[in-house]
Amino acid sequence: MGDVLIPLLIAATLAFALWRRVAVYDAFARGAAQGLAAARSILPFLVAMLPALALLQATGALGALADLLAPALERLGLPRSVLPLMLTRPLSGSASLAVLERTLDQVGPDSYPGRVASTLMGSSETVFYTLALYLGAAGVRRARHAAPAALLAWFAGSVAAAWACRIW
């Protein structure tokens, strides 16, 4: 379904932009340059994270942890292979991108667990990082109900991701 929408989205964006007299080629090139810079900026973190994860996986430590937590997750409809992603996603964007890549490599991007992992990644934020950054910037010490509400939202989103992947 989504892959049918992409050409439509592209055509609609382009038609709308031309109608608004946007210099589309220049705008695209500017955005592409920013995208390249973004990829370049996560490279050092990928090189830091992926070897650590590969080692944990090769030794079976990651599998053991998944065995431990899987029953609770599976009761909620979440496949056990998304567990490493669920553990890293709230903490770091680049680390979870690395975990997503490993997960997709193992279970296959078009499989049900692969789709749930992708949906999880796209529908959530780095909860703890965001809270720490913004609270620190505002000089606020007590977050009151922001932390529990943000975590509940993240959890509801994860369960919703598993269900949504079953429907579509």
Partner 1 sequence: MQWMWAVLMLAGVGFAWAAPTLGGAAGSVTQTLSQAAMDAVALCLRLAGGFAFWGGWIAVLEDSGAMRGLLRALHRPLARLFPGVDMDGEAGRAMGMNLAANMLGLGNAATPMGIRAMQLLGRDAVDGAATDAMCMFLVINASSIQLFPGSVISVRAAAGAVAPASILLPTLAATAVSTAVGVLCCLLLARGSRHG
Residues numbered 114 to 143 that lie near partner 1 (CB under 8 A) are 114-115, 118-125, 127, 130-131, 133-135, 137-143
**x-marked contacts with partner 1 along 52-91 as a string, rule CB under 8 A:** xxxxx-xxxx-----------------------------x
Size of the site for partner 1 (CB under 8 A): 97
Show the site string, 12-31: x = touches partner 1 by CB under 8 A, - = not: -xx-xx--x-xxx--xxxxx
Among 73, 92, 60, 90, CA closest to 152: 90
d(CA 85, CA 100) in angstroms, rounded, equals 6
HEC profile of 21-81: CCCHHHHHHHHHHHHHHHHHHHHHHHHHHHHHHHHHHHCCHHHHHHHHHHHHHHHCCCCHH
Q: How far is the CB of 163 from partner 1 (least distance, A)?
A: 8
Shortest distance, position 67 Cβ to partner 1, whole Å:
14
Q: Which is nearer to partner 1, 75 or 168 (CB)?
A: 168
